[in-house]
Amino acid sequence: MDKVEHITVATNGINMHVASIGTGPVILFLHGFPELWYSWRHQLLHLSSHGYRCIAPDLRGYGDTDAPESASQYTGLHVVGDLIGLLESFGIDRVFLVGHDWGAMIAWYLCLLRPDKVRALVNLNVPFMARDPKTINPMEVLRSTFGEDYYACRFQEPAGPGEIEKDFAQVPTAKMMRILFSSFGPNPLIVPKETGFRGIPDPPCLPLGFSEEDISFYANKFNHKGFTGALNYYRAINQTWDLMAPWIGVKIQVPVKFIIGDQDINYHVPGLREYILNGGFKKDVPRLEEVVVMGGVAHFPNQARPEEVSEHIYDFFKKLQLSTNNPKATSTTTSFNGNRVSGLAHLHAL
């Protein structure tokens, strides 16, 4: 990791820490919760060695990037604004884009709001969900599906500011990182208010793909920064939903590859697997070219199976670069455990 360069960029009223390495076409990596630029450490090294310039910021509220105090400053529009300013500061016109978790959500927003800035997208674990004017806001959906003790509901502030932060403060940060990186499997993360995160036992082993050094890196950064900035993304989710009303009906119009683990909670939310595989996702993302379902992987595939994810990213972007020079018809494919099958064959498999 010594070859990775670190700079601070002024953008959209904040100072943003950015890690970068390599030269060539630019890939912009967007991390999720509870992560940092460091979540892409494997992909930065792999893709830069294949002729790409890789850029991975700490998003606002995380790591060495500024953390505005108010949750209202963490909408998707704010973070997209940060990224546009980041690209402007580097003199970059368009990027290949990769996102995971909250970074995947922000990637969808960037494609929706500024498709002129995105050459293609590889998104992990969080599919695009078009805003339906007939549905209730996202937090009400989560409450009705999983209950008040679902972790994202607990991240709200019904009893006043700082309630969940006080709960976090009672758990050693390294233990908290082990808990969070071991969660988000097929079962929802339920955190009863009576016991909180302090009542969740320390996992018996390290999360898949993580070393003690990795856990320490995250713990040190969150010890310094705290968790409020990261939690504010959840607290602003309904505000983002309200602000996105003007884009009702707008589809994602960039080439997309989507990767999800078959042990990820998102693959087990009622109706979501069917949306991803049976045509709903393709309707909202017309240029969806590949869907990859990774067997035996939960919510952090870029860290659990880094080489496989890196190759998926490289293969997709390289294919698009070649097709730009030699256009030819392509078709949507679906992959299970790395073995691609045609969409028709998949439908028969169901």
Enzyme catalytic residues: 101, 234, 299
Neighbours of 285 (CB within 10 A): 23
Is omega for the bond preceding 34 within 30 degrees of 0, making it cis?
yes
Rounded CA gap, 203 and 200, in Å?
Answer: 9
Neighbours of 4 (CB within 10 A): 17
What helix, strand, coil percent values describe the chain, rounded to 5? 45, 15, 40
At 44, the amino acid letter reads L
Nearest to 290 by CA among 344, 326, 342, 350: 342
Contacts of 168 (CB under 8 A, 6+ apart): 176, 197, 227
Two tokens at 237?
A: 């989710």
Evaluated on CA atoms 126, 131, 136, 139, the torsion sign reads positive
Exposed, middle or buried: residue 255 (CB in 10 Å: 0-12, 13-18, 19+)?
buried
